[in-house]
Amino acid sequence: MSAVAVKYPELQKLGVELLAISTDSRFSHKIWQEEELSKMVEGGVPFPLLSDAGGRVGSVYGVYDDDAGVDIRGRFLIDPDFNIRAMEVMTPEVGRNVAELIRQVKAFQHVVSTGEVTPAGWVPGKPTLTPGPDLAGKVWKVWKVDNAF
């Protein structure tokens, strides 16, 4: 959460809005913000921390663990038309990669603005693919595995 908070200005420049949702109460969020997050990120987390008491939102997104009564860590990229474009669900032992989040946002924005396809590991400036019948069976001619790294 704190790593995302540090990159929040960059995400905002990309037109991204963030919401953090958990089954914790708004009071727990307030204490967490004051006692921990604000010590990791100057001013604390700059986006809303929302409470999903009862797991209704988590249930809709498939991340609510009914037995434990908590939302499992998940990240969802939702486009302006409210379509889920990507999701990542992680257990608490492994942290998420904010650079990958930003890369995916840029890739989805590129796809929408150009109609091109961004292959594995694509970052701005790397080759893209133009879908169509002429590409079928010939991807190997225009894209190399080295471009994924």
> d(Cα 97, Cα 132) in Å, to the nearest integer?
32
Q: What share of the chain is helix, strand, coil (3-state, %, to 5)?
A: 40, 15, 45
CB hemisphere CA count around 49 (13 angstroms): 21
Q: Assign 48 a pLDDT band (cuts: 50, 70, 90).
A: very high
pLDDT > 90 fraction of the chain, expressed in percent and rounded: 93
Please name each of the domains of the chain with its CATH number.
2-95 (3.40.30.10)
7, 43 in Cβ contact below 8 A? no
pTM of model > 0.85:
yes
Residue 92 has pLDDT above 90, yes or no: no
pLDDT of amino acid 87: 96
Tell me: pLDDT of 35 over 90.
yes
pLDDT at 91: 86
**Residue-wise pLDDT tens digits, 14-23:** 999 999 999 9
